[in-house]
Chain A
């Protein structure tokens, strides 16, 4: 399909109008989304208006911006004024925010056309979209398989060719894992690079917005639009990034790549094999491959499943039936809070709220939350030490390819384990990217993961572009 780069160029040159491009998107969605369920809501009117505005700028000889006329899917945990934002939860069913997330405003200002809101695990908690209150999305490569999660709807929307770009959010792998499962480029920027204002919080110190694209260069393009300092987000980094689009053409000559055992052990053999093949592609392109171990990364899962639920338990307290969303009426307010939350949240969200509440509660804070925060430091220190020896790390994105519906629902711990390789970068606040690198024997996509030191995300694009070219050969 046409990339965002290509489509924007065509729209800017008048080869195709934004409105036509949008109708192609809607037609593709109409044809297949009843089966795949990528979208929870299509903003026909808003999108058509946005596309017309882009066309008007082109007609007037102006430049609508680097994403001119590019239809984009927006994960349904990003606020868009007047457009339903559900977070895949019954508790927010029908809620229309009175404001728009910074990233969406920036996309629109760059000429992009948000077509609608994509499906997700409820409040971004999950790895399969099976936790969406509105039904799961399906993997376009095999509809009996999950697309991954939590940003599964966004992954499906791009993988099915509905849109060239979709935004997701990644708290413990929620962009990279579905990208790997669906054969896409999925990029989680370093923490603080992309504004969280308007992203409905799951775990504030881990959440980060990023793109799904079909090419590494498109991921760079979109990130340059949505990234950069936002005064509305206190955790937004004040300094600017290097040119990520330029980094895509830099090559990997002389780059030291750490092939990390702890990002491979436990993965399916054919995935390990693809990662090793990726390493050899990089070596052939002039990189130096270094085998290394960072055993501390194994501790990430435990730290993550205490920190993220703890923050979530507090972030999700506001769904109390008072100001917005669902209310289940009772005599007194406290009983109303209980009835509303009990009816509005699904089991996984309840599980994590319970876990987080417990981890923060009197008498357990030090043993769980405090210890998890120290482990987070330990893991970050270990990564920092590794980056004194290598420039980037290479490993698997996921231990397996896309699994079947229901395979992991009964045992939450087995579902959590599928995040093992993606979690450490969230804890450290570093950037990471999943790049599609061939398929399994069964024809399911395999992703390799590149990790970089914090704020050196340019290296991800350097490496990603070489892998992309290498797998195409």
Chain B
């Protein structure tokens, strides 16, 4: 299987659950994990006579999303999408159709590529089915049980243009989108809990040809699945074409365990959703003032935060950009900025934050973080020691890094001790020394390792290198 001569065309539909206190059209709690059918009322179970009333906070979140995605926020209305399905209590879904709230946006990814946003519209979620028998899958089950707690939870569906060309790029898009949605406070972005759900439209073509027939892949509940599924599906389509078969436009299901997509077609009726304007709701026409107020309240978005960091670092090589992306993605950029202001070298603070800290857990204060970076920069701590101190700081956030270093036994070796250790290692490894002295720099790591072992990790790597270099220079003269 090979993609040679083909390119992949990817468009994504991302459903994002909004973090409101109540549902989209009723006052039931929007809460994951409660006892089944306890957060339900006549509206969200679709009892006869019930009527929807739109949640203002959900609209605000949807507008925040639209603005963050650089969309036009517009006069919009709600439509009914009619189809029968047991987890959909009214047997129609209230959604937005030809007049969505947000249209024509874009996302710039960390690598500089741009993905167009077709629309970001509001709609309601469905209930949840549990399948009995058939090993819990819908296929082969004998019966299903339905819980409507999720029915009516507010969603924003973000539809991208078919602008992505690889699984890696699609993954970067979803990661960036998630970071934006989380940054604006609209969602918790937990893919594994289903608060962000991704469907991928994938097709392949020879560059320059018109778009090929596309398949929609469902059930992509992690970034990893997304990338794998797209890569698998593109290869499958190329194989089909190469084998002289035609691609059938269809919905496919990603099987994570088997690592493959499979057709979902099963007695599917031709879809005819009979959209028409929802007569129980009135149009949604956010005022210019309201939109401006929401815009003023938007926090700095990931892209701006990355730019701020890059500016602080004064460097934009790829390695730095990767670290910057990681730090912003983990919400650690504020810490790096503060630590730098407190005297830490920016590049070191960035690297240590990206590699040693985790925003999910406890973070050291900016002052302690800065102090640890400074100890390392001054040579008072080796890199390994500094990392150990950071780990200890997470356990004891109030401790002074210097005290921690002392407690961990990270006293600086005296120059004599280090010098002696280096001399002994050189003596014991004659061949390697000859090659190093002859200019084979790769062996520096070898000597550092040996010295570390001899000093039980207390040696400062940088100091070892400068001693080695001094001796090499002496030997050469």
Task: Answer yes or no: A244 CB below 8 A from chain B CBs.
Answer: no
Q: How far is the CA of A95 from the CA of B48 in the complex (A)?
A: 10
Task: Answer yes or no: A441 CB below 8 A from chain B CBs.
Answer: no
CB neighbours (8 Å) of A311 from chain B are 276, 279
Q: How far is the CB of B129 from chain A (nearest CB, A)?
A: 10
- Please encode chain A, from 287 to 326, with 1 for each CB lying within 8 Å of some chain B CB and 0 for all others: 0000000000000000000000011011001111011100
Question: Which 6 residue pairs spanning A and B have beta carbons closest together?
Answer: A317-B91, A360-B274, A204-B279, A205-B279, A200-B48, A198-B49
Among A35-43, A226-234, A463-471, the stretch that binds chain B is: A226-234
- Closest B-chain residue to A204, C-beta based? B279
- Please encode chain A, from 144 to 171, with 1 for each CB lying within 8 Å of some chain B CB and 0 for all others: 0000000000000000000000000000
Binding site for A on B (CB under 8 A): 41-42, 45-54, 80, 82, 84, 86, 89-92, 144, 146, 267, 272, 274-276, 279-282
CB neighbours (8 Å) of A361 from chain B are 272, 274
A201 and B49 contacting across the interface, CB-CB below 8 Å: yes
B53 and A314 contacting across the interface, CB-CB below 8 Å: no
Q: How far is the CA of A205 from the CA of B133 in the complex (A)?
A: 44
Task: Answer yes or no: A437 CB below 8 A from chain B CBs.
Answer: no
Q: How far is the CB of B23 from chain A (nearest CB, A)?
A: 14
A334 and B84 contacting across the interface, CB-CB below 8 Å: yes
CB neighbours (8 Å) of B144 from chain A are 333
A357 and B49 contacting across the interface, CB-CB below 8 Å: no
**With A204-B280, A234-B281 given, is the CB distance from A97 to B52 under 8 Å?**
no
Q: How far is the CA of A136 from the CA of B63 in the complex (A)?
A: 52
Q: Which A358-392 residues sit within 8 Å CB-CB of chain B? A: 360-362, 365, 369
A99 and B51 contacting across the interface, CB-CB below 8 Å: no
Task: Answer yes or no: A433 CB below 8 A from chain B CBs.
Answer: no
Size bracket, chain A contacts: 35 or more
Selected from A85, A196, A334, A337, the residue in CB contact (under 8 A) with B51 is A196
Q: How far is the CB of A83 from chain B (nearest CB, A)?
A: 13
Sample of 23 A–B contacts (CB below 8 Å): A87-B48, A95-B48, A99-B42, A196-B49, A200-B48, A200-B49, A203-B279, A204-B280, A232-B51, A234-B280, A234-B281, A235-B282, A314-B92, A314-B276, A318-B46, A318-B90, A318-B91, A319-B48, A322-B86, A322-B89, A323-B45, A360-B276, A362-B274
Q: How far is the CA of A460 from the CA of B166 in the complex (A)?
A: 68
Q: Which A169-203 residues sit within 8 Å CB-CB of chain B? A: 196-201, 203
A78 and B51 contacting across the interface, CB-CB below 8 Å: no
Task: Answer yes or no: A255 CB below 8 A from chain B CBs.
Answer: no
Q: How far is the CA of A151 from the CA of B423 in the complex (A)?
A: 106
Q: How far is the CA of A362 from the CA of B276 in the complex (A)?
A: 11
Selected from B80, B92, B267, B276, the residue in CB contact (under 8 A) with A369 is B276
Q: How far is the CB of B27 from chain A (nearest CB, A)?
A: 10
Q: How far is the CA of A235 from the CA of B49 in the complex (A)?
A: 14
Label chain A's interface by main secondary structure.
loop
- Closest B-chain residue to A100, C-beta based? B49
Q: How far is the CA of A320 from the CA of B313 in the complex (A)?
A: 62
Q: How far is the CA of A310 from the CA of B281 in the complex (A)?
A: 16
A78 and B49 contacting across the interface, CB-CB below 8 Å: yes
Task: Answer yes or no: A79 CB below 8 A from chain B CBs.
Answer: yes
CB neighbours (8 Å) of B91 from chain A are 317-318, 320
**With A314-B80, A361-B274 given, is the CB distance from A197 to B51 under 8 Å?**
yes
Selected from B48, B51, B86, the residue in CB contact (under 8 A) with A233 is B51
CB neighbours (8 Å) of A323 from chain B are 45-47, 89
**With A314-B80, A317-B90 given, is the CB distance from A234 to B52 under 8 Å?**
yes
Q: How far is the CA of A317 from the CA of B83 in the complex (A)?
A: 8
Task: Answer yes or no: A415 CB below 8 A from chain B CBs.
Answer: no
B48 and A85 contacting across the interface, CB-CB below 8 Å: yes
Q: How far is the CB of B196 from chain A (nearest CB, A)?
A: 28
- Closest A-chain residue to B81, C-beta based? A314
Q: How far is the CB of B169 from chain A (nearest CB, A)?
A: 34
- Closest B-chain residue to A101, C-beta based? B49
Q: How far is the CA of A310 from the CA of B79 in the complex (A)?
A: 13
Selected from B52, B272, B279, the residue in CB contact (under 8 A) with A362 is B272
Q: How far is the CA of A303 from the CA of B53 in the complex (A)?
A: 27
The listed residue with most B CB atoms (<10 A of its CB), out of A201, A314, A333, is: A314
B282 and A234 contacting across the interface, CB-CB below 8 Å: yes
A310 and B276 contacting across the interface, CB-CB below 8 Å: yes
CB neighbours (8 Å) of A234 from chain B are 51-54, 280-282
| Apart from the given pairs A101-B49, A317-B84, A361-B272, 20 other A-B contacts in the complex at a CB distance below 8 Å | A77-B49, A79-B47, A79-B49, A99-B49, A196-B49, A201-B48, A204-B279, A232-B51, A234-B53, A235-B279, A235-B280, A314-B82, A318-B48, A318-B90, A318-B91, A322-B86, A322-B146, A324-B48, A357-B274, A360-B275
A197 and B50 contacting across the interface, CB-CB below 8 Å: yes
B42 and A98 contacting across the interface, CB-CB below 8 Å: yes
Task: Answer yes or no: A279 CB below 8 A from chain B CBs.
Answer: no
- Closest A-chain residue to B148, C-beta based? A323
- Please encode chain A, from 60 to 84, with 1 for each CB lying within 8 Å of some chain B CB and 0 for all others: 0000000000000000011100000
B272 and A99 contacting across the interface, CB-CB below 8 Å: no
A317 and B82 contacting across the interface, CB-CB below 8 Å: yes
CB neighbours (8 Å) of A324 from chain B are 47-48
CB neighbours (8 Å) of A200 from chain B are 48-49
- Closest A-chain residue to B142, C-beta based? A331
- Closest A-chain residue to B84, C-beta based? A337
- Closest B-chain residue to A199, C-beta based? B49
